[in-house]
Chain A
Amino acid sequence: MNSPILMLPALLIAIATAPTTWATEREINDPVKKGEYIFNMGGCASCHTATDDQPLAGGLPMETPFGVFYTPNITSDESTGIGAWSNADFIRAMTKGEAPDGSHYYPAFPYTSYSKMSRQDLLALKQFLDKQTPIVSKNKSHELAFPFNIRPLMTLWKLVNFDDAPFQANKDKSQAWNRGAYIVNGPGHCGECHSPRNLLGGIKTDGLLTGNPEGPEGESVPGLTMTKDNRVSQWSDEDLLFSIQIGMTPDGDFLGGSMGHVIENSTGRLSETDLKAIIEYLRDIES
């Protein structure tokens, strides 16, 4: 099903409250600005900024069934951040889930999604991060229960739960659909919260984007697939756009919780073209 998204009054373009809204991200030539857009697609600040006075210095606790993870410093500080990383180090971390020293990252860092990102986008993102103010702040060690505290076991976890294949465009679908699929499954990493997880914390691939009753911070996360029982399937394209652009649902309520951070740091800052692409994809997710 290909539902053409109705043109909203042009004024909607103006209402995005984000400091910068781009006509389309592909028209941005300056790599640092493009990187900033990619940064917003990922909503990186939601997890890597624990306090506003220390942007991107990490330290946010993430409580999970396996223990508490603390997000790391991704500022350009060379000793405690990632300022000393090469492009290759950065791409390896994002797409293979491996630190420069070869150790494995835990999937609380969603490289499971970022592995779908294009090399070009990753490099632009790195250029943006390199320009951010360095902050000296040592990473806090995770507090994990046995056996999850044995990092090398992640090799086994990855074998079962990690598909590092890059994004594959579907030629039978429109360009916008593919753009939406890329954003949702790659940089936007929507499936990380909107999909159920198995006992080992891996995403259940057969339930991708069908929701997670036991989501992060005890929240029940709704599905994004447009099945009849899902209230969002009844929403118009304008309603869906409004909900991810400013957070308002058709009944006048405003989304909060984790999604509030997503709207603030990510979807509320994306171009309307990209938001419409996301909606076109969600209307017609391949199952």
Chain B
Amino acid sequence: MSVAQWVAQLDQNLYFRSVDALLDMEGHGAFVWSAYLITTLVVLAMLLLPLRRKRRFLRQLAGELKRREGSPRTKGGGD
């Protein structure tokens, strides 16, 4: 099957024939789209929060280490 045939078949199988019909979903659009929107937001938070937590902690730790290494005590300046 060629790409053009595959696209034509996909188009044939598409249930909604217009964007308005897709958004409205025969009166159920508000329910379906709000459920999908809430899920998308929660999934984004699930993926991004641990990443941000790790990056923020490593940045803080790097700053702390830099400060400690810069202090005269750790430079070997002594008492």
Query: Do these two chains really belong together in a complex?
Result: no
